[in-house]
């Protein structure tokens, strides 16, 4: 007799609505929208009570209404039996629902849109950053719901040093972003010659997580006020977007010589950057630095390319509410949005994991190498 399946999401970044779990071969689910926002795409839930080896089929029945509904084609969900090691499960978008089937090796399994980065791991990472990687806690912002937003600095802030800023996960469902930040902090622990050369001329200003409320609540895109933080860089307020308000305040206090805003992209199966070509005050130096960064990184790893990405903004037509454009305009510096895929990098596919936390970390290693090569020409 099949015991009833138990499907839950009452945990960090959990998101699912159970419609009907009475039939293991046709478990009907739905993704819950962000709070105070129609955005949704992120899901993360646990299934218990499965019959090992029996076929179980799960349907996210509202996938066609999600924020990026074209992104389900070619996408495979991630799964884990221990909530630590994740793998892809073959998935199929039928134009309405995203469906995936598994014959489990264990009676419990987790599914998610991408390998989750938990608040617990974030707290561990902050400890690593402060105690092992030699960063200092420069300031702490607060999210809408009062969660800490640490600003870390690697370096002594001495006059004349370049200020390189990296922020991550403005969009809370883009968990690859904090995996990337773990890669940055892991590299800083290695004390290798390239990093030492970088740190001789530059300080790193790191905000490993911009949107802890949204991530905790299983949001795709917004903070606890339903605000898309990457649309708040011209009009942030302490009430609606304190996360951005805090970082902008700190940027004014310390200055910016390079900016990297780390994101994930639902649809494009490649790693790429977007830049400031549409800014009204776009400079030739910014154009040169953007091309230099892209050429160096694509020469260093197959996990970056410049053939695919967002359409270029027309001159003077950029949306200045985006972090990349706003910071590039204000500081006339190299300012980039870095996008990693929710799917895989089709230039170097990994059928088992697709794009993953570990690959996000490796990318960070290479990005720091490139920044080290460019630090002397940032200004």
Query: Among this protein's residues, is 115 annotated catalytic?
Result: no
The 10 Å CB-count burial string (b at 16+, else e) for 244-279 is bbbbbebbeebebbbbbbbbbbbebbbbbbbbbbbb
Residue range at the interface with ligand GEM (CB under 6 A); choices 11-19, 30-38, 69-77, 306-314: 306-314
Distance between the two ends of the chain, CA-based, in angstroms?
70
> What is the smallest separation between the CB atom of 151 and ligand GEM, expressed in angstroms?
21
Angle, helix 176-190 to helix 357-374, in steps of 10 degrees: 60
Nearer to ligand GEM, 115 or 265 (CB): 265
Judged by the rule CB under 5 A, the positions of this chain that interact with Zn ion are: 171, 174, 263
Nearer to ligand GEM, 154 or 263 (CB): 263
Across the beta sheet with 91-93, the strand order is 17-20, 27-30, 56-60, 98-102, 91-93
- Interacting residue with ligand GEM among 159, 311, 314, 352 (CB under 6 A): 311
Residue 15's DSSP bridge partners are 44
- Report the partner that residue 335 touches, choosing among ligand GEM, Zn ion, none (CB closer than 5 to 8 A by kind): none
What track of x and - describes contact with ligand GEM for positions 212 through 241 (by CB under 6 A)? ------------------x-----------
Residue 274 interacting with ligand GEM (CB under 6 A)? yes
What track of x and - describes contact with ligand GEM for positions 241 through 270 (by CB under 6 A)? ----------------------x-x-----
- Report the partner that residue 337 touches, choosing among Zn ion, ligand GEM, none (CB closer than 5 to 8 A by kind): ligand GEM
Phi and psi of 88, rounded to 5°? -85, 145
Measured between alpha carbons, how far is 177 from 161 in angstroms, rounded to an integer?
Answer: 26
Residue 313 interacting with ligand GEM (CB under 6 A)? yes
Residue 151's DSSP bridge partners are 139
Nearer to ligand GEM, 29 or 274 (CB): 274
- Cβ proximity of 296 and 374 under 8 Å: yes
- Cβ proximity of 67 and 84 under 8 Å: no
Measured between alpha carbons, how far is 374 from 343 in angstroms, rounded to an integer?
Answer: 30
Residue 339 interacting with ligand GEM (CB under 6 A)? yes
Site size for ligand GEM, by CB under 6 A? 11
Among the options 115, 290, 329, 339, which is catalytic?
A: 339
Nearer to ligand GEM, 5 or 232 (CB): 232
Select from 122, 119, 116 the least CA-distant residue to 185: 122
- Report the partner that residue 313 touches, choosing among Zn ion, ligand GEM, none (CB closer than 5 to 8 A by kind): ligand GEM
For the chain, state the CA radius of gyration. 21
Residue range at the interface with ligand GEM (CB under 6 A); choices 20-28, 181-189, 249-257, 309-317: 309-317
Cβ neighbours of 81 (radius 10 Å):
15
Which residues, 6+ apart, have CB-to-CB distance to 151 below 8 Å? Answer: 137, 138, 139, 140, 141, 205, 206, 207, 246, 247, 250
Residue 279 interacting with ligand GEM (CB under 6 A)? no
Nearer to Zn ion, 153 or 263 (CB): 263
Nearer to ligand GEM, 213 or 339 (CB): 339
Residue 322 interacting with ligand GEM (CB under 6 A)? yes
> What is the smallest separation between the CB atom of 153 and Zn ion, expressed in angstroms?
24
Q: What is the DSSP letter of 217?
A: T
Measured between alpha carbons, how far is 311 from 317 in angstroms, rounded to an integer?
Answer: 12
Residue 337 interacting with ligand GEM (CB under 6 A)? yes
Residue range at the interface with ligand GEM (CB under 6 A); choices 40-48, 51-59, 140-148, 308-316: 308-316
Residue 178 interacting with ligand GEM (CB under 6 A)? no
Q: So which residues are the catalytic ones?
A: 339
In the complex, the residues that contact ligand GEM under the rule CB under 6 A are 171, 230, 263, 265, 274, 310-311, 313, 322, 337, 339
């Amino acid at each position: 007799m099949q015991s009833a399946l138990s499907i839950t999401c009452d945990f960090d970044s959990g998101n699912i609505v159970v419609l009907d779990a009475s039939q293991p071969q046709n478990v009907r689910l739905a993704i819950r929208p962000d709070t105070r926002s129609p955005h949704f795409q992120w899901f993360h839930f646990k299934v218990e009570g499965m019959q090992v080896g029996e076929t179980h089929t799960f349907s996210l029945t509202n996938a066609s209404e999600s924020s990026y509904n074209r992104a389900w084609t070619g996408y495979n969900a991630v799964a884990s039996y221990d909530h630590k090691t994740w793998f892809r499960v073959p998935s199929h978008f039928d134009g309405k629902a995203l469906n995936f089937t598994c014959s489990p090796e264990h009676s419990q399994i987790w599914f998610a849109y991408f390998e989750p980065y938990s608040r617990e791991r974030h707290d561990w990472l902050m400890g690593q950053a402060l105690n092992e990687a030699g960063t200092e806690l420069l300031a702490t912002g607060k999210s809408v719901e009062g969660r800490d937003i640490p600003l870390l600095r690697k370096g002594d802030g001495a006059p004349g040093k370049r200020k390189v800023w990296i922020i991550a996960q403005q969009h809370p469902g883009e968990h690859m972003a904090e995996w990337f930040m773990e890669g940055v902090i892991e590299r800083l622990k290695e004390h290798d010659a390239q990093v030492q050369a970088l740190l001789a001329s530059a300080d790193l200003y790191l905000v490993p997580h911009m949107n802890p409320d949204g991530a905790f609540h299983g949001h795709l895109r917004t903070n606890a006020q339903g605000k898309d933080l990457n649309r708040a860089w011209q009009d942030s307020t302490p009430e609606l977007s304190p996360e951005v308000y805090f970082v902008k305040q700190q940027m004014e206090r310390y200055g910016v010589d390079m900016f990297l805003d780390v994101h994930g992209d639902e649809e494009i199966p490649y790693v790429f950057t977007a830049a400031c070509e549409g800014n009204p005050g776009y400079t030739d130096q910014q154009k040169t630095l953007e091309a230099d960064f892209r050429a160096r990184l694509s020469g260093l790893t197959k996990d970056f390319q410049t053939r695919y990405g967002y359409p270029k903004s027309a001159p003077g037509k950029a949306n200045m509410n985006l972090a990349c454009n706003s910071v590039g305009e204000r500081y006339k510096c190299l300012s980039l949005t870095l996008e990693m895929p929710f799917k895989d990098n089709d230039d170097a596919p990994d059928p088992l994991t697709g794009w993953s936390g570990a690959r996000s970390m490796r990318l960070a290693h290479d990005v720091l190498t490139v920044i080290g090569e460019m630090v002397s020409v940032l200004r």
